[in-house]
A and B are shown apart, each in its own frame.
Chain A
Amino acid sequence: MEDKDKKIESLHLKLIPYFEKYGILLLLVLMILVMHILQPDVFLSWRNVTNVFKQISWQSMLALGVFMVIVTAGIDLSVGSIMMLSLMILAVVAKAGAPWFIVVITPLIAGFLCGLFNGLGITLLRMPHPFIMTLGTLYIFRGAGNLISGGTPISGFTDEVRYLGHGRIDLQWLGLEKSQYLPVSLVLIAIVYIIFWIFLNKSKTGKWIYAIGGNPNAARASGINVNKILIIVYSLCGFLSGIGALILAGRTDSGYPNAGLQSELDAIAACIIGGASFFGGRGTVLGVFAGVMIMGILRNGLNLMDVSSFWQQVLIGSIIVLAVYIDVLRRDIGTRK
């Protein structure tokens, strides 16, 4: 009897690491199955699946940036505003008639510089918490975006500028129909996520980002320049928001004042659902991707079923609480000795 209990317990303990790593994917697969059962004709259709990816394309960039910041036990509330400011700069530069390769690069540089500003503020001004610096820049960047654009939408970009957000990769050579194309934004998500997965898991800097989140004193005592790494992290977060702006420019063909409003909260929600810990040092790139997908599928599925957007808010909020509660339970089991 006791032996049997022990066996079951040790099996649990062996399963925990896998659950920790891939549990969130299980939730994702479950959601896909449920949606498929509820909407068998539409949900898994080519058109709808590519739609989901197009819809999450820019959010996935913001979430990835915020994720890195959260791993350091920080927070970036300004990603939505960085994206809006980068988008407005892109729009103004495009309207001024700059060649497309300049237009395409401006949001990336703008986003990077905004992130650098955050990073320098947090480290050099010794803000007591990144929350405060990025809460400030949440207002500053959005205000700046409205100042340069006059607070009005600017529309109409060339095809080259819109390529990442709007482009299609034709798959007819594979014998598929014309409507069965691959959105460029989907390929972009894959490339960016793979690059950042390698960066965070296989490079020294990536390992140090996790170490800082685990114990900044340990990192400092190991001779790691913690401030430098933090500045890199916030700059990269801004850069990713800049990529988000470029995608959004392609999708909407316009720079508009409300771009990315509250999207910092979506980005944080995706990270939390994906298993990142607010205390830092914990979470995976795959988890963030799953978190973004879960939110995207939820919105898409509820739209397909004509559920009001008010219910969507209630459901997304509930999922955040539920996901974190499952995490709490899991940690209870994992630490029982």
Chain B
Amino acid sequence: MLSSSNPLLEAKGITKYFGTITALENVNLKVHPGECLGVVGDNGAGKSTLMKVLSGLYKPSAGSLFFQGKEEILESPRDSQNLGLEMVYQDLALAGNLPIGENIFLGREPTKKFGFLKLLDFNKIKELTNAHLEKLKINVKSADQKVEELSGGQRQAVAIARSTAFNAKVVIMDEPTAALAIKEVGKVLDLINSLKKTGVGVIVISHRMDDIFTVCDRVMALFQGTNFAEANLSNTTRDEVIGWIMGKK
């Protein structure tokens, strides 16, 4: 069913060298609208490098990226953001000293003209933040709360809110539940499910089989920088996927 629609994002033959080290070799990946792709692999399998290529942080040594069928060359994270490709980093990439709203709009702040000056529009930031958090059913005391005052789960929620505030079409999440307390994991997974329902394509990198088997539709395994195995979730088992991570088929 899912594979019948055109992929939102497709990576073909991605190769990345760091000096003499081959981090990725001829890796393919695609994700469809409303689909969640799980990417698994051991430490050093190339997951993070692949995500950084997709987000425009690294330029691939070879291979190409297609977004909605059109080939794109990403020079910086700004380029991928402009396409609607958003990344939620494992360290969340939030500025703890700034309030929730300013984090969500960081780098893309709404402004208003004040004579010849362009100043930040704090009312608009607050208004848009509240509306967006409400849409995603994220509960915080106030949009003015500093991020450093939030719990791990709330921070993850803010990071996800941030990634979807600008009509994201594909959201890539690096270990979204790794740093969370158990009771917070469920909330974040619910959030991912509601994102899928809005037609967003989600890529989740995770070590946790629970995450993969709760939210993903398809899983692919990287092993030593190459595509190792791939299957729809309905056609595989946890044990098989764990085997792939260790390089066993």
Contact = CB atoms under 8 A, between A and B. Distances in A.
Contacts of A202: 117, 119-120
B106 A203 contact: no
B120 A210 contact: no
Contacts of A223: 76-78, 81, 107-108
Given A223-B81, A223-B107, A214 B119 contact: no
Nearest to A211: B95
A219 B97 contact: no
Nearest to A221: B93
A281 interface: yes
Contacts of A221: 57, 77, 87, 89, 93
A150 to B, nearest CB: 45
Interface in A292-321: none
A224 interface: yes
A215 B76 contact: no
Which of A211, A218, A223 gathers the greatest number of chain B CB atoms within 10 Å? A218
Contacts of B102: 207, 211
B109 A217 contact: no
Contacts of A217: 89, 91, 93
Interface string A188-226: 000000000010001110011011011101111111100
B243 interface: no
A203 B95 contact: no
Interface in B69-98: 76-78, 81, 87, 89, 91-98
A282 interface: yes
B114 to A, nearest CB: 8
A221 B162 CA distance: 11
Interface residues of B, number: 26
Nearest to A218: B93
A208 B111 CA distance: 14
A283 B162 CA distance: 25
A220 B77 contact: yes
Contacts of A208: 106-107
Given A211-B106, A217-B93, A223-B81, A203 B119 contact: yes
By Cβ-Cβ distance, the 6 closest A-B pairs, closest first, are A214-B95, A222-B107, A223-B78, A281-B97, A214-B97, A221-B93
Interface of A: 198, 202-204, 207-208, 210-211, 213-215, 217-224, 281-282
Given A211-B102, A218-B94, A222-B107, 4 more contacts: A204-B120, A207-B106, A210-B97, A222-B93
24 contacts: A202-B117, A203-B118, A204-B109, A204-B111, A204-B120, A207-B98, A210-B97, A211-B106, A213-B97, A214-B98, A215-B93, A217-B89, A217-B91, A218-B93, A218-B95, A218-B103, A220-B77, A221-B57, A221-B87, A222-B77, A223-B77, A223-B108, A224-B106, A281-B97
Interface of B: 57, 76-78, 81, 87, 89, 91-98, 102-103, 106-109, 111, 117-120
